[in-house]
Amino acid sequence: MNIHVSKDPQALGKTAGAKAASIIRKAIDEKGTANIILATGTSQFETLNQLTSEKDIDWNKVVMFHLDEYIGLPITSPASFRKYLKERFLSKVPAVGRAFLIDGETDAKAECNRLSNLIKNYPIDVALIGIGENAHLAFNDPPADFETSQPYIIVELDEACRKQQLGEGWFATMDDVPKRAISMSVKQIMRSQHIICSVPDSRKATAVKNSFEQSVSNLFPASILQLHQQCDCYLDNASAALLEKFQ
């Protein structure tokens, strides 16, 4: 795992988005297609802005999956991750080859099976991810399941995770935040050839410290990124503030 620290979220996003673009171009050059995973949330704003502005990407050769979605939340909700990706990615690169979005409004178990069967046919070249305030990966809250090999799973969202969603302004009240979601599993994320992890903001500093300076543990799900050989984690000064090596 490589750690890169930028001065602010904008600089972080430019660097992370440019790196992701270079991996996508290389995959297309070498094998004619690129398979990617996209995250959502405020941590991805600047990275996606940069990625969608990159030139010379043949988007019709790109296949996209995404990390997670609330169960039972309509796509019309401002907090819908399908809505997020339609507005912040797919509308900006309409020529994308295929986009497999998670439908949280259908039968959740059947949707997990559908997506799990699909992603097995598309080895992932690069996953763009973030880290939650509780150190979650996707919606794999602590203690995360590090063992399941199922690509997509149904998860229960813990209180810290739900408070983060409320605090970021996606929901009006805590009661509005769903308690269950469909999430890509930790093992599936780790199967990606490359991982680009974007983590801006001071409120993520404790999670960053626990994930990168503690031993690998499912109590800090993102700590497993320490074991990935081609993971680049992009921080800003605020999110890196508690790391000893950057003091």
Query: What are 107-143's pLDDT values in tens digits?
Result: 999 999 999 999 999 999 999 999 999 999 999 999 9
Query: What are 150-198's pLDDT values in tens digits?
Result: 999 999 999 989 999 998 888 999 999 999 999 999 999 999 999 999 9
Can you tell me which residue has the tokens 């069967």?
A: 117
Residue 247 and residue 40: Cα distance in Å, rounded? 30
Structural domain includes residue 246: no
> Closest Cα to residue 71, out of 171, 3, 140, 155?
155
CATH of the domain at 127: 3.40.50.1360
Query: What are 48-105's pLDDT values in tens digits?
Result: 999 999 999 999 999 999 999 999 999 999 999 999 999 999 999 989 999 999 999 9
Residue 169 and residue 171: Cα distance in Å, rounded? 6
> Closest Cα to residue 2, out of 82, 15, 140?
15
Do you know the residue count of the chain? 247
Structural domain includes residue 74: yes
Structural domain includes residue 97: yes
pLDDT band at 208 (very low <50, low <70, confident <90, very high): very high
Structural domain includes residue 219: yes
Q: What is the mean pLDDT of residues 26-46?
A: 96
Instruction: Provide the number of structural domains found in the chain.
Output: 1
What would the two tokens of residue 223 be? Answer: 């700590």
Structural domain includes residue 47: yes
Among 19-23, 121-125, 127-131, 242-246, name the one with the lowest average pLDDT: 242-246
Structural domain includes residue 247: no
User: Range of 86's domain?
Assistant: 2-241
Instruction: Measure Cα distances from 98 to 61, 115, 119, 179, 235 in Å.
Output: 8, 13, 12, 29, 30
Which class for 208: exposed (0-12), middle (13-18), buried (19 or more C-beta within 10 A)? Answer: buried
Residue 184 DSSP SS3 = strand
pLDDT band at 246 (very low <50, low <70, confident <90, very high): confident
Structural domain includes residue 134: yes
DSSP assignments along 188-217, one per residue = HHHTSSEEEEEE-SGGGHHHHHHHHHSPSB
